Chain A
């Protein structure tokens, strides 16, 4: 997906999240170290990274809950505290467990609606869209995590905002819920909304995110579309079953590929596409019984990207030991 040269705007304001150079230190921990990215409308932006990468802190800074030491976070061009009726500009779910257990789901949404001057009718609409109608008058304390996620999403939708932000919305959801959530996120983007979704598991975002911001150690490691990330991953390889293993290895190594034996009659080839392997072996008259191309998954691409961030994290500790 090509980058849009111009960010669309709503009412003259950009319907976006713009995070610029956020830095935040908690005691001796540097939680954010120059986090910068833009969330554009009409797509789902995945915000991924290992635990502790600074995703939640960034989201709290966007909502004005935590004040960054440096940098800024703007919603549609404005800092959060300047927003009038903020829930109509951005809806967010940070912590689905943040509920008063004794209050019913509907009443939780009702006070939130009242704070924005919205009526109970709007509450019933978002309850229905989040699939919570049957549980609306039950106390939130008895909700499963999946139901709390749905309640959090209903709360985010109260103000019908053009920008949405969810922190780990897949947590605690059953497979059915995960599929529902993916579809829901896509439908929000299809409305033209800017959607930011964080997750520490890339697999959850498969088939949901269009764009990815990969965070590690408080800053952005990669800011790319999903298609580009997969293409860039070095995980492409070809597996081959053959009775003449040594000949195949010789031919393909000569052609510049890296070949590794993975079994008595199987080989893993990287550096050449499946078509190239078939052509070379055909030219040399070496036989094989089976060939398959293995395309890198989003998960593998992500693991490769974040490996450095995770490993790098361990270094200072080792130095201190020495």
Chain B
């Protein structure tokens, strides 16, 4: 007998085989396991819920007694301190101001433990804080927050050119003495200000040039002095900017003041710019202000011209940041990375990995699809939850009498979407680790050790400050840097530690986390292709 075999011809099917299909499959896998969906929803609710229900910060001694102050905003949009003593004249158009600073002296109040707005202190002893400053300034107006540029001698950072509160350029180094005075000059051409310094009044060096928006018409030029709070940071701990703060006063002595382009016969007029007690709460010592004796001038001031930094160490009001309510991100991350690791390890546990790899023999693409799915889920949910923390949290903080440091909408978007991205990249890293290790328990332990543990070490500072800094630089926990909304300033003493500040900048920190995720996923892909599709031995 001869059998005639008609081979099976499947009817034409409309199916497609591409990355989109793999994404669809992995998404279906994810959404059809109720436990996973519940877990990521809980993570999302925790991020938002902790942010809204457990506010940090707030006014010491209860919210009712605190009033959010009116804080000057600089040209760049940042909250600024702008209080100093000025001896000024109008400058109607282009011109220049030159002066010789012959001495910079100061007084510092005794240390007191910082517990918020600094209390009164009356006994001052001689001394200069590092960023005490005296010099010459051209400012659009004497309204706090105006555009300005200044050349100054500082307590221990030599000559600087500073403008518009956040910019700082170093000039001549070294400290000032009678034998070694400093000549300073600012020239105005329209809205462009150029700063020069000189050690002898003959040889001038250009320090920097600034174009100041809004510097039109008659501006004010003069000599100024001011001195910020004396801040000594302690060992930082999470959410507790430790350190001691005390008042200070600085006096600059000037000679040979020369204004070109000013009103003929104009006189130097003393003026306090900004709140007199911006930094100085005690009874002002005699001499605060401006004195002239012949061609010599003394300007004594207290305060600062510069940005407000987080932690309330250079303000007499309590500050907060938009990320103050993001503590829950850490808990949400913990849940999300566990789910991400288990997204693949349960497949090894159940033997389902064989079905998955039979459906998708191109193994790298399968892993990529998994990473995209878990990444998108955590990004979307995480960003939404962080948006609640930032927007609702800022209002809660404000209502509690705390001044929330303003940031641009771009920065706000970066904090929200960047934190979502951080959660997504951390999940991809966890997925990679899960693929390499294949066992749920081992993989979950590994991702916690890799991401969560360094973060705890970093922000609590349970080791040392140096260890914390390095941990937040070189471990995947560096990714948390994306949360910081206000920058650090070298020209302002501050409590530059977590959670407001990280050792790395926002994007650098996220890049470190991305590098870890790339290495983990690369190793995972290599092993996935090389190994037989079975569970761990």
- A residues adjacent to B (C-beta < 8 A): 1-2, 4, 8-11, 15, 40-43, 60, 63-67, 80-81, 83-88, 92, 94-95, 97-104, 107-108, 110-112, 114-119, 122, 155, 159-162, 191-193
Contact = CB atoms under 8 A, between A and B. Distances in A.
Given A2-B2, A98-B354, A107 B32 contact: yes
| Most interface-central of A15, A67, A98 (chain B CB within 10 A) | A98
Given A64-B361, A100-B352, A88 B15 contact: yes
A160 B28 contact: no
A82 to B, nearest CB: 8
Contacts of B178: none
19 contacts: A2-B1, A8-B7, A41-B5, A43-B5, A60-B354, A60-B532, A64-B361, A86-B358, A86-B361, A95-B351, A97-B350, A110-B28, A111-B32, A116-B17, A117-B14, A117-B15, A160-B13, A162-B7, A162-B10
A160 B350 CA distance: 25
Nearest to B15: A117
B21 A88 contact: no
Contact of B8 (A10, A80, A81, A115): A10
Contacts of B355: 98, 112, 155
Contacts of A83: 361
| Most interface-central of A8, A95, A116 (chain B CB within 10 A) | A116
Nearest to A164: B8
B35 interface: yes
B13 to A, nearest CB: 6
Nearest to B28: A111
Interface residues of B, number: 44
A10 B9 contact: yes
* 6 A-B pairs with least C-beta separation: A115-B25, A117-B15, A42-B5, A98-B351, A117-B16, A107-B32
Contacts of B359: 86-87, 112, 115-116
A139 to B, nearest CB: 9
Interface of B: 1-3, 5-11, 13-18, 21-22, 24-29, 32-35, 346-347, 350-352, 354-355, 357-362, 532-534
A15 B350 CA distance: 31
Interface of B is mostly: loop
Contacts of B6: 8, 42, 192
Nearest to A92: B358
A65 B17 CA distance: 19
A111 B6 CA distance: 32
Contacts of B7: 8-10, 15, 41-42, 162, 192-193
A97 B351 contact: yes
Contacts of B13: 88, 118, 122, 159-160
Contact of A1 (B3, B26, B28, B533): B3
B357 to A, nearest CB: 6
Contact of B10 (A41, A60, A63, A88): A88
Contact of B11 (A43, A81, A160): A160
B535 to A, nearest CB: 10
A193 B8 contact: yes
Contact of A98 (B10, B11, B352, B360): B352
Contacts of A11: 9
Contacts of A67: 532
A162 B8 contact: yes
B10 A160 contact: yes
Nearest to A67: B532
Contacts of B3: 1-2, 4, 42
| Most interface-central of A114, A118, A155 (chain B CB within 10 A) | A114
Contact of B32 (A84, A94, A104): A104
Nearest to B10: A160
Given A95-B351, A160-B10, A115 B5 contact: no
A98 to B, nearest CB: 4
Nearest to A195: B8
